[in-house]
Amino acid sequence: MRLPSKRLVEQLQARVSDYFYGDTATITYRTASTYGSYGQVTYSEKTSVVDCSFTDKPTKESWAEYADIESVEAELRFVGTKPSKGDRVTLTHRFDRNDFDNQDFTALTFEIIGVKDRDVFGYVVALKKVAI
């Protein structure tokens, strides 16, 4: 079996992003760095803004082998760096709108509780709301 060329992969990812990803989110990647004075792990954080597709009506049964399906509240698809469970997602814009549009939208923050690798088409993550 021949693997797709890097150029073909990039073209597929660009098309998916252009046609299917109408939302924008900021992903906060957490990496364990040191231990605090009480022996608790401290994390360093890196953020990345991604075009994505968000739904608050996920098919929970499809997450049975990845996460507790009772906790799955939303789902996000995107192309970018692979996230881990515990990373945070802040949904900042919906439906291809930007800061200058008059949209009544409050940013929503979620914790990633499951990750599916979709290869060329990026990642799909199961989300649960974070109370701040």
CATH number of the domain that residue 70 is part of = 2.40.10
pLDDT per position in the chain (132 positions), as tens? 555 577 766 676 666 666 677 889 999 999 887 887 788 888 888 999 998 999 988 888 888 888 777 889 999 999 888 999 999 999 988 876 555 555 555 778 999 999 998 777 789 999 999 876
Q: 105 in a domain, yes or no? A: yes
Q: Looking at the 3D structure of the chain, how many domains does it have?
A: 1
Q: Name the phi and psi angles at 24, rounded to 5.
A: -135, 140
CB 49, CB 89: distance < 8 Å: no
**DSSP conformation class of 3:** P
Q: 11 in a domain, yes or no? A: yes
Range of the domain at 76: 6-129
Q: Which residues contact 122 (CB under 8 A, 6 or more apart)?
A: 13, 16, 77, 78, 79, 80
Predicted local distance difference test score (pLDDT) of residue 15: 66
Q: 34 in a domain, yes or no? A: yes
Q: 89 in a domain, yes or no? A: yes
Q: 29 in a domain, yes or no? A: yes
Q: 46 in a domain, yes or no? A: yes
Runs of H (alpha helix) within the chain: 6-20
Predicted local distance difference test score (pLDDT) of residue 83: 94
Predicted local distance difference test score (pLDDT) of residue 79: 86
In the chain, DSSP finds a helix count (H) and a strand count (E) of 1, 6
Predicted local distance difference test score (pLDDT) of residue 115: 92
Q: 1 in a domain, yes or no? A: no
Predicted local distance difference test score (pLDDT) of residue 107: 79
Predicted local distance difference test score (pLDDT) of residue 29: 94
- With 0-12 / 13-18 / 19 or more C-beta atoms within 10 angstroms meaning exposed / middle / buried, residue 73 is middle
